[in-house]
Structure 1
Amino acid sequence: MTMEIDKAIDRQTHTRLSLIFSKPEFWVFVASLLACLALSVITDTFATPQNLFNVTRNFAFVAIVALGMTVVIISGGIDLSVGSILCLSAMVLAICMNAGYPLWASAGAALIVALFVGAINGMLIAYLRIPPFVVTLGMLSVARSAAMVLSQNKMIYQFGPDEARLFWLGGGSTFGIANPVIALFLLAVTTGLILKWTRWGCHVFAIGSNEKAAVLTGIAVRRLKITVYMFSALLAGIAGVLEAGWLGGVTTNLGQSMELSVIAAAVIGGANLMGGAGTVFGSVVGAALIEIIRNSLTLLGISTFWQGAFVGSFIVLAVAFDRIRAGRETDG
């Protein structure tokens, strides 16, 4: 009897370990730790408090947007407009604060604009059935053009009476931790709980896995898609507010080409571009790994021009490994 119990425990333990080892985000996390360890040994500057502070703060902006992108990818879509939405939101914030409005009102206006843009994306995709790639690619240009029109293509660096509060929000720290990192933690926990424990989260996975089956079960797929793209835009807007406070100024090239890093973070973290799979933890560690690689290139004296090559290669490799793993599971 005792032997049978021991065998049952062994099987259960082995199953749990196998489940952990099969998760792409686990191996990305391990790769991030190994990269940090290697850089700490190779260089004298990586493990310094100031550099670690900069690394965590810098990756937080990408990771916040990647949370929304992960939800979109899980639903079977893609959002190429997040960088432009970030820019537009930051510009609305800057214009309002420059006009003398308080931080809370200006940030509220910025997030409302982001939600409006996300709603447009969602409605065009859900009701007109235009492919997400086409809609969000078009919005990429429209949103950035709107930012140029609103600012007359000028940099805004004066933020009125609440300027110090904005700079503290995006560039300050609490207990030695950068405020954007704290915001990332809160948003990641919230997003994770929503995806795991709410009906909305279950429905997002359902439409990404099989949209036709989701329709037959009575899920309001069209309305759900609109909320998914609004959620993605909202997180891009939050990142825009924080980044404006960190940089101390807003230009119309803010967030340019950010879409590549965000999608890379989500895919490297295990999100399936075909839909139905993805985790909050994976998107966060994916963003962290990208920032660690960028920081290492700088510290090792390698040209920053190689950054795009590394990020693009990671996307291709992550998707390739996912396809190979899926093929093996199918064959099995």
Structure 2
Amino acid sequence: MSTEAAKPPPQANVSIESVLGVQQHNVWQRIIGAQSFWVTVALILICIVMSWLQPASFATSENFFNITRNFSFIGIMALGMTAVIATGGIDLSVGSIMGLTAVASGLVLEAGYPAWLAVLVGLAAGGVTGLINGVIIAYAGISPFVTTLGMLSIARSCAVVLSGNRMIYKFGPGGLGFKALGSGTLNITPTFQLSYPLLFLIVLTALLAIVYKMTSWGRHVLAIGGNEHAALLTGVPVNRIKVQVYVVSGLAASFAAILAVGWEGSAINALGVTYELLAISAAVIGGANLMGGEASAYGAFIGAALIFVIRNSLLMAGVDSNWQGTFVGLFLIGAVYLGKIRGAKRE
């Protein structure tokens, strides 16, 4: 009879912490290790340089209001996109969801119904579209890229058909309340204002940050992107979570569309064309890993801010607007490369 002690069987259970690769770091290490920190540094430096070069035009309360309002729509979309990217997916349909939401809400207002009903119908349009995306991806096993690329075309086509390919601007009695969502302002001082879209973005960023850090749902989202098979072993309801993140993405795009329609005072089926690229760029520049397992609500916020500050700075500097995409693309490639370097260091 062998005297060797029997070896314990290998552990089949896997913890969420091992899936996410959680390591102990102090606060400063976590801050400087986050991509969003360096994006924030870049944003501050750009603002300092532009304020010195263009003090009469860039460093004004009016320009601050315009920049923050404009990036808020993309920032809200990027918040939803981070949840999708965190699972290792992608949502190319968010721009078309904006167009569909705009038309759906506009038609409700045009028919004379109240603003709250138009908001609900718009959110339902985005939520249902996201639900369809999620079910196809999670249960039919079709790739997120193909599924959402198809939905990009379907949702835009539906928006064109529903609107009769026309602008909807004759809002009924509910139009004033609807417009207040997107064009309202909070007066801090007589000359300094914050737009409602920015305030909504700040609140949603804080909520999603809490969800990622303090809820099992947030940990499950990151675990799926980190290692889907290992997440299954821990008991994470992978398919259900996948469906939910696409619903979140659809709702975020719909809410951004509702605010945009309220600000512009009209609804067109072309709303949101190419916005999916800006939302993805904002999320990735802010630190979301396209391979999954890593995302940041604050990163989505600061990524959207950086994109629009760059665009505004180029215009202020007299650079041809056709070069804006080049600079944003360079920042996107740089952000992905930085994420790759950070990932290699962790390994």
TM over 0.5: yes
Which residues in structure 2 correspond to 1:276-287 (within 5 Å)? 276-287=293-304
Structure 2 distance, partners of 1:265, 1:288, is: 8
- Superposition deviation, residue 185 in structure 1: 1.1
CA distance in 2, matches of 1:191, 1:156: 33
Query: 1:108 is matched with which residue: 120, 125, 128?
Result: 120
Counterpart residue number, 1:9:
none
Contact 2:84–2:249 under 8 Å retained in 1: yes
3-state SS of 1:159 partner: coil
| 1:85 corresponding residue in structure 2 | 97
Trace 1:1-332 onto structure 2 (pairs within 5 A): 15-43=26-54, 44-175=56-187, 176-330=193-347
8 Å contact 2:112–2:173 — kept in the other structure?
yes
Specify the SS of the correspondent of 1:160. coil
Instruction: Provide the secondary structure at the position in 1 that maps to 2:89.
Output: coil
Letter in 2 for 1:255: G
Q: Do the aligned residues in 2 keep the contact of 1:68 with 1:236 (CA within 8 Å)?
A: yes
Deviations 1:61-99 (A, max 9, x none): 000000000111111111111111111111111010011
Where 2:83 maps in the other structure, the secondary structure is: helix
SS at match of 2:48: helix
Check the 8 A contact 1:61/1:239 in 2, yes or no.
Answer: yes
Give me the whole-angstrom Cα distance separating, in 2, the residues matched to 1:298 and 1:167.
Answer: 28
Alpha-carbon distance between aligned partners in 1 of 2:333 and 2:212, rounded to the nearest angstrom: 26
Q: Give the residue type in structure 1 aligned to 2:231.
A: A
Output the CA distance in 1 between the equivalents of 2:163 and 2:26: 57
Q: Structure 1: where are the runs of 5+ without partners?
A: 1-13
The structure with the largest alpha-carbon Rg is 2
Structure 2 SS opposite 1:177: strand
Contact 1:58–1:291 (CA<8 Å) still a contact in 2?
yes
Structure 2 residues without counterparts, runs of 5 or longer: 1-24, 188-192
State the distance in 1 between where 2:168 and 2:179 align: 14
In structure 1, how many angstroms separate the alpha carbons of the residues matched to 2:34 and 2:236? Answer: 28
Local SS of the residue matching 2:173: helix
What SS does the corresponding residue of 2:174 show, helix, strand or coil? helix
> For the residues of structure 1 that align with 2:180 and 2:313, how far apart are their CA atoms?
27
Indicate the RMSD between aligned Cα atoms, in angstroms.
1.2
Which shifted more, 188-197 or 146-155?
A: 188-197
Q: Which moved more, 1:237-246 or 1:16-25?
A: 16-25
Shift of 1:323: 1.1
Q: Which segments of structure 1 move beyond 6 Å, counting only runs of 4 or more?
A: none
- Tell me the alpha carbon deviations over residues 122-177 of structure 1, each in whole angstroms, 9 at most, x when there is no partner: 00100111110110111111111110000011011121112222222101202221
TM-fit CA distance, 1:305: 1.0
Counterpart-to-counterpart distance in 2, 1:325 and 1:203: 22
Paired residue type of 1:189 = A
Letter in 2 for 1:26: F
How far is 1:15 from its partner? 4.3
The answer for the alignment partner of 1:5 in structure 2 is none
Q: One-letter code of the match for 2:201?
A: L
* TM-score, length of structure 1 as denominator length: 0.93
Output the CA distance in 1 between the equivalents of 2:241 and 2:314.
41
Q: TM-score, normalised by structure 2?
A: 0.89
Contact 1:261 1:311 in 2 (8 A): no
Distance in 1 of aligned mates of 2:290 and 2:219: 18
Greater helix percent: which structure? 1
Percent identity of paired positions between Structure 1 and Structure 2: 48
- Report how far residue 248 of structure 1 moved: 1.2
C-alpha distance in structure 1 between counterparts of 2:74 and 2:40, whole Å: 16
Classify the secondary structure of the residue corresponding to 1:174: strand
| Secondary structure at 1:252 match in 2 | coil
